[in-house]
Amino acid sequence: MGTVAVHGLSKSFDKVQALDGVTLDVPDGSFFVVLGPSGAGKTTTLRAIAGLEKLDAGSVHLDGRDATGDAPAARDLAMVFQNYALYPRHTAYENIASPLRARRCSSSEIAAAVEQMSSLLHIEHLLQRRPAQLSGGEMQRVALARALVRRPRAFLMDEPLTNLDLKLRVEMRTELTRIHRSLGATFVYVTNDQVEALSMADQVAVLKEGKVQQVGTPTEVYERPANQWVAGFVGSPSISLLACHAEGDRLVGAEGWTLPRPRWTTAEDGRPLLLGLRAEDLSVEQRGNASLSGELYGLEPLGDRTVVDVRVGTEILKVKARPTVTGTPGERLLVTVDLDRAHLFDAG
């Protein structure tokens, strides 16, 4: 078993309220991601679960048992950090074996466990090296193996991929989901990278200024963001937010544009709204009847696609286009809008 439930966690440091009533339910065996910008309270949340932070209020339950007052060692959790914290003088083998030695496991048990984890992480050939002889990605694998070998109740991971270069980070995302699946263990994984969160999580909790904004599957958080902030953070940088209000069967923009009012909105006339449009739901090709008129502001070629920046009044819309798209700044453009996939938020 490995359920982790925290309820009403609050913690202040001097004048900073790091956590403000954080409640999370992590099901057994899930890959649970806490996503938020720097300073949101992610590390403090993990430290609270691990028992490393004295709380002002709230409780921590592990496998249904109140563990709020338990010492860190009694909680049977493993923490993986962004800096690998390996013993420099020990080989990779000894680093991975160290938690088992501390538990006085037999040499044959240790050998079997190290072998199993190194094969899972594809580091069998590195076991006799010392940390100085390993690359960053290899060190991170050894650090993971050392955490995994203990078979704790749950793994707490604090931005473990942050110090890797982009290619390795992408590779380790796939690796971590594979490892998670093959161990069936509970992962509580903290990151500020929405792509990491969306690509690996079963469940995502979005955290801002010590408060949980939304909990859901990656699809729910992306497709139905609970508020404007979640839409901007999770969709960043592809979502544009335009000030507007409803008026009869139209949406009227602060910049003077109008669009048909989406059937699904219940907002009353005149109330200040923000229309959220993702780059992939906009097009510079003529293929729908809802469109906004603007002028080409710039092109961002990104290899597999080009993002066209279109100026509508004083606001910039990001529109996904084919990599071959061309145009000159200032030229008039009609942007087709897929209103069924748009979002409306209360402004302010």
Pairwise CA distance, residues 213 & 58, whole Å? 18
Helix %, strand %, coil % of the chain (to 5): 30, 35, 35
Determine, following the binding rule CB under 5 A, whether residue 283 of this chain makes contact with Mg ion: no
Determine, following the binding rule CB under 6 A, whether residue 43 of this chain makes contact with ligand ADP: yes
Determine, following the binding rule CB under 6 A, whether residue 56 of this chain makes contact with ligand ADP: no
Count residues near ligand ADP (CB under 6 A).
11
Q: Count Cβ neighbours within 10 Å for each residue of 106-127 and write b for 16 or more, e otherwise.
A: eeeebeebbeebbebbebeebb
User: C-beta of 1: minimal distance to ligand ADP in Å?
Assistant: 27
Q: Closest by alpha carbon to 122, among 175, 184, 44? A: 175
User: C-beta of 17: minimal distance to ligand ADP in Å?
Assistant: 8
DSSP 175-231: HHHHHHHHHT-EEEEEES-HHHHHHH-SEEEEEETTEEEEEE-HHHHHHS-SSHHHH
Compare residues 49 and 114 and give the one whose CB is closer to ligand ADP: 49
Check if the beta carbon of residue 118 is closer than 8 Å to that of residue 127.
Answer: yes
> Given candidates 4, 9, 30, 36, which one binds ligand ADP under the rule CB under 6 A?
36
Which positions from 27 through 56 interact with Mg ion, judged by CB under 5 A?
A: 42-43
Compare residues 12 and 107 and give the one whose CB is closer to ligand ADP: 12
Q: Is 118 helix (H, G, I), strand (E, B) or coil?
A: helix
Compare residues 42 and 141 and give the one whose CB is closer to ligand ADP: 42
User: C-beta of 152: minimal distance to ligand ADP in Å?
Assistant: 21
Pairwise CA distance, residues 221 & 235, whole Å? 9
Determine, following the binding rule CB under 6 A, whether residue 320 of this chain makes contact with ligand ADP: no
Backbone φ, ψ for residue 288 (5° rounding): -140, 180
Compare residues 26 and 110 and give the one whose CB is closer to ligand ADP: 26
Compare residues 81 and 297 and give the one whose CB is closer to Mg ion: 81
Compare residues 43 and 291 and give the one whose CB is closer to ligand ADP: 43
332-337 vs 273-278, strand pairing mode: unpaired
Determine, following the binding rule CB under 6 A, whether residue 18 of this chain makes contact with ligand ADP: yes
* Binding stretches for ligand ADP (CB under 6 A): 13, 16, 18, 36, 38-44
* Binding stretches for Mg ion (CB under 5 A): 42-43
